[in-house]
A and B are shown apart, each in its own frame.
Chain A
Amino acid sequence: MANSIKLRAKASKGVVTVKALINHPMETGLRKDQKTGKLIPAHHIQEVMAKSGDKTVLDAVWGGAISTNPYLSFMYSGAKGDSLTLSWVDNQGNSDSETASVA
């Protein structure tokens, strides 16, 4: 699951606005495969963590009700040039992370 995250972070007046897009199916486990009639097993992101350097700025727990290919935007106080790392872990143990420098 390499490169599943698109990450942009922009600083303005001491506040960094982060926008992220993650490629992920986000299956709730309630949907049926239309060909076989069987339930598609749940496959969704459970934890999302954002770190600025060593400092955690956001840590989130998600259910299957977040849309497919999730979009997430949040803000924190920081400055231009900081490095920001966003990572996720899903219910099947997959994970990915991406680092961007704040513009």
Chain B
Amino acid sequence: MNRRTLLKRTLALSAVSVAASAGLLTPGQVLAAYPKAAFEAKDTAAALTAALGTGGFEHSDGIEIKAPDIAENGSVVPVTVEVSSALSNVESISILAESNGTPLVATFNLSGSEAFISTRIKMGKTGDVVAVVKSGGKLYGNKKEVKVTIGGCGG
């Protein structure tokens, strides 16, 4: 390799890295809004405080959690949360697995969608699956126990 091609390549490389760092700005800005503290919180109340502002919630039977009574494989636990029309103006649905080291699994902000979420979560051991719904500035929640025979966190 002579000096000229080396120079050319260095220039090309630096152009690529500049483009990459410029491209990286967008996900960086998105990540700034990510509630990291909420996902690192060690108990349900702390996670809810960090994610939604308050730690406590009112029990509501209008929130239905569909999950298996016994999950054979804790790394794939299907969970469906459906909120009845008794609770209107549902702003967000959060799913927590109380027995996990960091209970918060996910928060879904429903800007325009129906109060229904279905997904699959990981559970380390037997415990309650908690669904917390934010409606009109207040928190409502319900629980369902899921027995886990093989844990899904850790190897």
Task: For chain A, give the interface size range.
Answer: 35 or more
**B76 contact set on A, CB distance < 8 A:** 67-68
| Cβ–Cβ contact B27 & A93, under 8 A | yes
B101 to chain A: closest CB distance in Å?
Answer: 7
Q: A47-B34, A61-B34 are in contact. List 8 more A-B contacts (CB 8 A).
A: A46-B31, A57-B110, A58-B113, A59-B108, A74-B116, A75-B114, A76-B114, A89-B30
* Residue B117 interfacial (CB < 8 Å): yes
* Residue B136 interfacial (CB < 8 Å): no
**A76 contact set on B, CB distance < 8 A:** 112-114
Given A31-B154, A63-B102, A47–B111 Cβ distance below 8 Å?
A: no
Q: Which 4 A-B pairs have the closest CB atoms?
A: A76-B113, A73-B118, A67-B120, A75-B114
Interface positions of A (Cβ within 8 A of B): 15, 28, 30-32, 34, 46-47, 50, 52, 55-68, 70-77, 89, 91, 93-95
**A34 contact set on B, CB distance < 8 A:** 155
Give 28 CB contacts A-B under 8 Å.
A46-B31, A47-B30, A47-B31, A52-B112, A57-B112, A58-B110, A58-B113, A59-B111, A60-B109, A61-B107, A61-B109, A63-B39, A63-B104, A64-B122, A65-B121, A65-B123, A66-B120, A67-B119, A67-B152, A68-B75, A71-B120, A73-B117, A75-B113, A75-B114, A76-B112, A77-B112, A77-B114, A93-B28
